[in-house]
């Protein structure tokens, strides 16, 4: 069933904003071995699609589907009850959509990480999902093999995004800067020249390994820089750091 969701253009998950599923790279403390399987809540208004995901994920020893829901309202209830590690959720559903449900899920299950799995390639949905707390945004053209890979990556601290949506995200960042003329009342936290270099590469979707190669430094040094950037900006993820940097004109994508 490796291709039951349709082919995904490009290469694998490690390759940034270009091929396969784009990964924003692991957060500094990610990557430790898991003793327990990743507990997943599947949310989609199509029962057949939910069942297909369950069958696919059942073949993965390190992933366990602990529940399912057919709309955003039910997803919030199930998340509060089950406390999953990952919520794999559609965007547009009856009663309550996935984006609206994101905020509530983060309130009732703060440790849960949310991956939007959808047919919607609208920039507004992508941006709203990130603002609502989603850690991933994948189109349903993704292959079934990549679903499991994306779940593992997000569980390990990465932000995952389909490549076509990643380019739209960067376009949205640029448009957001152009739309606002507001001046900062408080100076931006000062980043070192090296931290700015790292942040600019993070903004292109590079993972830690690729950043290390680009800057001729070790991967551990990159992790330390990313940790320092997040601490200085008082943010929690690489994706939030990129959004912040674009909004506050710390760096610019031409």
Per run of 10 residues, the mean pLDDT along the chain (length 254 residues) is: 39 36 48 76 94 93 95 95 96 89 92 91 80 87 86 87 72 57 54 88 78 92 91 79 72 54
Domain boundary among 166, 188, 222: 166
> Do 159 and 174 reside in the same domain of the chain?
no
> Do 126 and 32 reside in the same domain of the chain?
yes
Put residue 98 in one of left, alpha, beta given phi > 0 → left and psi -120 to 50 → alpha: alpha
> Do 112 and 182 reside in the same domain of the chain?
no
> Do 143 and 19 reside in the same domain of the chain?
yes
Q: Which two tokens stand for residue 235?
A: 């943010």
Q: Which residue is associated with the tokens 């589907």?
A: 65
**Whats the size of the chain, residue-wise?**
254
50 is a domain residue: yes
Please count the helices (runs of H) and the strands (runs of E) in the chain: 10, 7
Domain boundary among 126, 141, 166: 166
Distance CA 111, CA 108 (A): 9
Domain boundary among 150, 166, 182: 166
Residue 88 domain boundaries: 13-166
């Amino acid at each position: 069933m490796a291709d039951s969701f349709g082919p995904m253009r490009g290469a694998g998950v490690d390759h940034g904003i270009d091929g396969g599923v784009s990964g924003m790279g692991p957060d500094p403390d990610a990557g430790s071995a898991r003793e327990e399987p990743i507990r997943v809540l599947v949310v989609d208004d199509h029962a057949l699609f939910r069942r297909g995901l369950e069958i696919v994920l059942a073949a993965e020893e390190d992933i366990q589907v602990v529940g399912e829901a057919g709309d955003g309202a039910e997803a919030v209830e199930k998340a509060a009850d089950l406390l999953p590690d990952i919520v794999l959720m559609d965007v547009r559903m009856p009663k309550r959509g996935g984006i609206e449900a994101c905020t509530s899920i983060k309130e009732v299950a703060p440790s849960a990480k949310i991956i939007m799995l959808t047919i919607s390639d609208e920039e507004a949905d992508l941006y709203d999902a990130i603002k609502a707390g989603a850690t991933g945004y994948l189109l349903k053209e993704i292959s079934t093999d990549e679903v499991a890979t994306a779940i593992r990556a997000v569980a390990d601290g990465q932000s995952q995004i389909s490549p076509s949506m990643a380019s739209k995200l960067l376009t949205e960042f640029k448009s957001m800067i152009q739309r606002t003329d507001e001046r900062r009342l408080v100076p931006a936290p000062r980043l070192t020249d090296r931290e700015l270099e790292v942040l600019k590469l993070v903004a292109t979707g590079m993972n830690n390994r690729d950043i290390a190669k680009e800057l001729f430094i070790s991967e551990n040094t990159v992790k330390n820089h990313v940790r320092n950037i997040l601490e200085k900006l008082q943010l929690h993820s690489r994706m939030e750091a990129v959004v912040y940097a674009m909004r506050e004109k710390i760096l610019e994508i031409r």
